[in-house]
Every structure is written in structure tokens, then in C-alpha cells.
Amino acid sequence: MSRYFTEDHEWVDVDGDVGIVGITEYAQSQLGDIVFVDVPEEGKELAKGDEAAVVESVKAASDVYSPVSGTVIDGNAALADTPGLVNEDPEGDGWFFKLTLSDADELNELMDEVAYQAFVAKL
């Protein structure tokens, strides 16, 4: 499985033509305590950069953008009852949605972990 990152602090784990999307440790630390998450419904078509989900914290509400184009195949239902999972495990159990990739070439425009860490270090 390969992980890619965006400059908006989303990550996508890719296994074959399926991607799992969430926000990074850095993003959740900036948001603070997360109180609500709205994930996309199964079947929703997303283009790269589309608003895909909403996350609300005690500080602010933020959009989560799709790092790649595809069709949503699953939203993380656990986040409806336990939005704090995003704070506890943002790059694991706190994932937002899964999708089938419609254009794997888009992954070439994203950062790998080393490039993302260097990007965050400059913020």
C-alpha cells in the first residue's frame, strides 16, 4: 500500500484501484478537538480537489478535499458516533472515506511522506 499527501493535509492510502482518504496528524492538531464529521455517501462521484467531507472542531469547520478522482464506495460510519477518532488516530481508524480511483495518474501530482514532512516543516 502506498500513501500520498496533499498540500491541504489530506492523505490517501492506495491499494490497487482503491484509495482510503483521511486528514493528517498535522491537520487534526491544527483543528483541535473534533466534534462532528460529515463523510460523503456511497456512490458519490468526486473529482480531484472536490469538497468531499466536512470536519468541525471546537475551533472551526473545515472542508476535506478529495486528493484524487473517483467514486465513493464507503464512508467511515464510526465517525458519526465518535468524531474524536480523527483526533486519536487521524492516519488510521479516523479515515473519512474509501473510493475507487478513476485516474491513477493523479497520484503523480501528490507528495510522498518525505516530501510532505518537508512541506510541513516549512509551515
Question: Tens-of-pLDDT digits for all 123 residues of the chain?
Answer: 899 999 999 999 999 999 999 999 999 999 999 999 999 999 999 999 999 999 999 999 999 999 999 999 999 999 999 999 999 999 999 999 999 999 999 999 999 999 999 999 999
**Considering the domain 2-110, what is its CATH architecture?**
Beta Barrel (2.40)
15: its cell numbers = 491499494
27: its cell numbers = 491537520
User: What is the pLDDT at residue 1?
Assistant: 83
For the chain, the distance separating the N- and C-terminal CA atoms, rounded to the nearest angstrom, is 28
19: its cell numbers = 484509495
**Burial environment of residue 97 by CB neighbours within 10 A (0 to 12, 13 to 18, 19 or more):** buried
> What residue spans define the domains of the chain?
2-110
